[in-house]
Amino acid sequence: MVKDKSERHEYSKNISELRYVCKIAFDKGLLDTHSGNISTGINKKILITKTGRSLINLKRSDFTAVPLNQNLNKKERGLTDNVASSELEIHKFILKSFPGCTVLHSHPLNAIALSIYLDKIKKHDKFSSSPQVIKNIYKIYPDLNKITPVDFESAYFFPEIYVMPLQLIEDIKSGKFMPQLEAKDIFKENGVFMIKSHGSFSWGKTPLDALRWTMALEASSKIILKLDNLSS
């Protein structure tokens, strides 16, 4: 029973921090009233928002806790009010490599626009100097792309931000995405990546870190789009 009380206290503490970060994300235009999802790793579980819940003014009832290393069957996922976010498997993919982190999925407008516009920007030898794991992923997903920040702040942390195809989400959910590959093989401890035309996934040791990387991505994308507009 003591353990249950301790766990509830841990959840309440984390929810307060997640709520604070989501409010900032909404105020910054990174979320609309019902978009995005957020999670954090606690021991061997994931505390994650339920599907369809607004990230504004989050309450305990807006979250559910699921095992990190256990696949939920159809009955457990269910068509109930307790079902976890539809992006659960993406959160698990990240948190298995970076346990205890916070994962934020949001829809930064400039980053989404850039993820689509990148196809029109000529890039030569996009991944010639990238790690072998990225070259292998590029063979599977020829539409893999990357954002190369030009501002000092973003480039210091992320010389390259990968733009993954939308198909990646379905492939991770179904287990088709190179099952032996882990998030840590692709990304560093604090990270962010884009899903083309959809949104970003960022993670960090704290909720504020996850938000920070999303904001860095959005600011960098805005700068790139502005510079391209000035040169055209």
Output 100 or 75, whichever has higher pLDDT.
100
| Distance from C-alpha of 230 to C-alpha of 228, rounded to nearest angstrom | 5
Say what percent of the chain tops pLDDT 90. Answer: 68
pLDDT tens digits, 153-169: 999 999 999 999 999 99
Q: Is 39 helix (H, G, I), strand (E, B) or coil?
A: strand
* CA dist 111 → 30, 116, 161, 163, 176 (Å): 10, 9, 11, 10, 26
**For residue 74, pLDDT beyond 60:** no
Nearest residue to 188 via CA among 126, 97, 88: 97
Q: Which two tokens stand for residue 108?
A: 């930064």
- Record the pTM: 0.90
What integer is the mean pLDDT of 48-75? Answer: 84
Domains observed in the chain: 2-231 (3.40.225.10)
Nearest residue to 196 via CA among 159, 224, 221: 221
CB 223 within 8 A of CB 151: yes
**For residue 198, pLDDT beyond 70:** yes
Instruction: Provide φ and ψ at 201, rounded to 5°.
Output: -125, 125
pLDDT tens digits, 109-160: 999 999 999 987 756 577 888 889 999 999 999 999 999 999 999 999 999 9
| Distance from C-alpha of 101 to C-alpha of 95, rounded to nearest angstrom | 7
Give me the pLDDT at residue 232, please: 62
The DSSP 8-state label assigned to residue 205 in this structure reads: S
Q: Report angle CA 202, 103, 94 to the nearest 5 degrees.
A: 85
Q: Which two tokens stand for residue 19?
A: 């709520």
Distance from the Cα of residue 112 to its chain's centroid: 13
